[in-house]
Amino acid sequence: MPGYLRPRRALAVVAIGATAAIALAACSSSSGGSPSASTTSSASASSTTALAAVSTCSGSEDNSKTFKLGTFLPLTGSLASLGPAAVAGSGQALSDIAKAGGVNGTAPCVISTDSSDTDHPTIGQQNIKKLLADKVSAILGAESSGVTESVLKTVDAQSTVMFSPANTDDALTGASKWYFRDAPPNAVEGNALGQQIVQDGNSKVGILVFNDPYGTNLRNSIQKAVEGAGGSVVYGAQGKNQEFPSTETNFTSEVSSVIGTKPDAIVIDAFDQTAQILPALASAGWDMKKVYFVDGNLNDYTATKGVPDLTGAKGSTQGVNPSDALKAQLSAWYAKNQNGGKISAFGYAAESYDAVVIMALAAQIAGNSTPAGIQANILPVTGSTNGTSCKTYADCLALIKGGNKNIHYEGYSGIGALNAGHDPSSGYISIYQYVGKAPSKFLNSVKG
């Protein structure tokens, strides 16, 4: 024990005493096996194989000559399960860029950092400062809207591009001239889910929504879609004050109330609370086929014992379901560069890939990879000026080298051109169906 701890020996002992049992028991439970924040292996940048990761920036590169990508992705924390898909998506994009000849003739380099989640804001703050101090050309991240909101001021003040593959909070529309995203905002999701619910023959919809901007905004757009299609919201509607507090742990009265309104279907518009709502719904005899999830809780509940069998329940999430070919490619990349790691969920993989390619193409058009050069050319690359379309970095690069600087990259994510608020003008929402307790059956990808 270090000497400086001695005076507080009593406290330390108690802390150990009170938590020893926790430690013992928890050792055997995995608390979300977070991938280590390891940087990509330093394979040669000039390598031309499709799977070779680009090298880690040494810090001395000039960001106007070398495309220095800083990744700011959830390697730890509550969203860590989404990390591997984004790491592989962005890593594969950089590999493809390097293979096609780099950006402005120089191989790109990467600095990988952990954004963690809003429960651990200091990790994200530190890593953003590190990326800014290293003068990266652009930052890919964060996935959590809350994390983005907490660091965006810092990034904005340093005039660096920040491109999120996964932020969906409506409040981020037009948040900064340096901020971009290629995931559609929540309003688009609400519309798609509302249509799906009514399409399944449910006209009276009960919404268990928690009192949080995420929940209420999404509820509003679901309600609008349901009502527009001829249905009605019988519980949890806007203005009815039937939201539950986000700190709620006991859902028996909410469940009684919502079922009491005799809805055809129930939407659970919440986060973690869902793990406690589902057993309460099951105890009340509710048919799980008539439950709808949103992106905040469309999780795999296989490991959660109290949750009933959810087979038949449906839910929506932003983003396109990547093609099997892309999934296989990303899995191979991840296994090779992350010590045989596996990707369990592919959410936002296509969006991460496209974000990196869009920024690299913007840098190529600008002729330098400074943040200002990239910032000015992102919108045209996404199609805002109806440029010549091209589908891969190599094809687009050939067009630019051929003298055509007005190109439109059509990538895997299938988004419409970014608009003035730097949101995709259209994007895809995927509807999944539960088989057992996992949302594994892909039903539909709809454009909203």
Partner 1 sequence: MREPIAPRRRAHRIRLLGIALLAAAGVSLAAVAPAMAATPSPTPTPTNTVVQSATITAVPQCTVDPALGCVAGTLNDGNGNGVKGVTISMSDAGSDAASTVTNAEGHFAFKVSQNGLYTLTLKTSTLPSGVKAAVTQRKVQAVVGALRAAFFELSGSFKGSKATTSTVPTTFIGTAGQLAAQGLLLGLLLALASIGLSLIYGTTGLSNFAHAEQVTLGGFMAYSFGTVLGLPFILAALAAVVVGAASGYLQDRFIWGPLRKRGLGLTQLMVVTIGLSFAAEYVFQYFYGSQVQSVSSGVQLNTGPLNITPAAYWSMLVSIVVLVLVGLALQRTRIGRAARAVSDNRALAAASGIDVDRVIRLVWTVAMGLAALSGALYALVYGGIQWSTGVQILLLLFAAVTLGGLGTAFGALVGSIVIGLVVQLSTLFLSNNVKYATALFILILVLVFRPQGILGRKERVG
Under rule CB under 8 A, residue 247 binds partner 1? yes
Which of helix, strand or coil describes residue 114?
A: strand
User: Whole-number minimum distance, CB 164 to partner 1, in Å?
Assistant: 8
Which of the ranges 35-43, 101-109, 266-274, 354-362 carries the binding residues for partner 1, by CB under 8 A? 266-274
Among 1, 23, 105, 122, binds partner 1 (CB under 8 A): 23
**Nearby residues of 19 by Cβ (< 8 Å), 6 or more positions away:** none
Residues 336-365 as x/- pattern, contact with partner 1 by CB under 8 A: ------------x-----------------
The binder of partner 1 chosen from 426, 433, 435, 438 (CB under 8 A): 426
Using CB under 8 A, which residues numbered 173 to 202 contact partner 1?
183-188, 190-192, 194-202
User: Is beta strand 428-435 parallel, antiparallel or unpaired with respect to 438-447?
Assistant: antiparallel
Are 333 and 352 a contacting pair, CB within 8 Å? no
Rule CB under 8 A: choose which of 255, 358, 361, 407 binds partner 1.
255
Element (H, E) at 255: helix 252-260
- Closer of 161 and 237 to partner 1 (Cβ): 237
| 87 lines the binding site for partner 1 (CB under 8 A) | no
- Selected from 41, 48, 283, 302, the binder of partner 1 by CB under 8 A is 283
The least CB distance from residue 420 to partner 1, in Å, is 14
Shortest Cβ distance from residue 415 to partner 1 (Å)?
11
Q: Per CB under 8 A, which region of 36-44, 49-57, 153-161, 231-239 contacts partner 1?
A: 231-239
CB contact at 8 A, 144 and 73: no
> What count of Cα atoms within 13 Å lies in the side-chain half-sphere of residue 326?
27
Would you say 170 and 185 are in contact if contact means Cβ atoms under 8 Å apart?
yes
Going along 120-178, which residue ranges are E strands? 138-141, 161-164
CB of 307 to partner 1, least distance (A): 7
Write each residue from 50 to 79 as x if it is in contact with partner 1 (CB under 8 A), else as -, in one continuous string. ---------------------------xxx
Size of the site for partner 1 (CB under 8 A): 126
Residue 95 engages partner 1 in binding (rule: CB under 8 A): no
Report the residue from 104, 220, 321, 352 that binds partner 1 according to the rule CB under 8 A.
220
3-state percent breakdown (helix, strand, coil) of the chain, nearest 5? 40, 15, 45
246 binds partner 1 (CB under 8 A): yes
Phi, psi dihedral angles at 11 (to 5 degrees): -60, -45
Per the listing, tokens 């990790």 go with 123
DSSP 318: E
Specify the pairing of strand 265-269 against strand 314-318. unpaired
With binding defined as CB under 8 A, does residue 122 bind partner 1? no
| CA distances (Å), origin 436, targets 302, 303, 441 | 8, 11, 10
